[in-house]
Every structure is written in C-alpha cells, then in structure tokens.
Amino acid sequence: MAFESGPEFNASIEEIVHNSVIELSIEKLKDELKRIKARNSHASGDMTNRLAFHMNQLESYDLIEISKSFFAYQPVMKTLQSMETVPFSE
C-alpha cells in the first residue's frame, strides 16, 4: 500500500495523460480497421499489428475499492509504515 506524495502523484497524472493520448490513437485505429474489414481489404493484418503495438504501450493499474472511512486511517498507516520496529508488547 502506498499513499502518493507530490512527485508520485504528478507521475501518475503524466501516465494518465500518456494513456489518454494512446487511447485516442487506438480508437482511430479501431475505426480504420472496421472500414478496412468492411472493404475486405488485405491490409487489416498490418492495422491489427499497429493496434496491438499501441495497446502494449498503455500503462496499467490495479484498482481496489475502499470504504469512505479508509482515509481516516491514513495518518496512522503512514506512521506505521515509517517505523522500523513496532513497539507492541508481547
């Protein structure tokens, strides 16, 4: 688990922008591929390869669902993460 700070948050935003640009290219390629297939053209193989290339350029994320009260625990979790040892009694 990680809580994003300034630089990491900015990097995440940059990745989202990166994905959105690639997603636009993917949508254009999908539309073009549909037109090519409708004409029964043999160029669809090259277009499929280009589409696969762009899809491999996307950044991926694992999303988890959390309750609304999760962020009430954030300060405690951050403090525990920064501790080298946890001084609980046996």
Residue 89: which pLDDT band, with cuts at 50, 70 and 90? low
Residue 72: which pLDDT band, with cuts at 50, 70 and 90? confident
What pLDDT is stored for residue 34 in this prediction? 82
Residues listed for the chain: 90
pLDDT tens digits, 30-41: 888 888 777 776
Residue 59 near residue 18 (C-beta atoms within 8 A): yes
What pLDDT is stored for residue 3 in this prediction? 59
- pTM value is 0.42
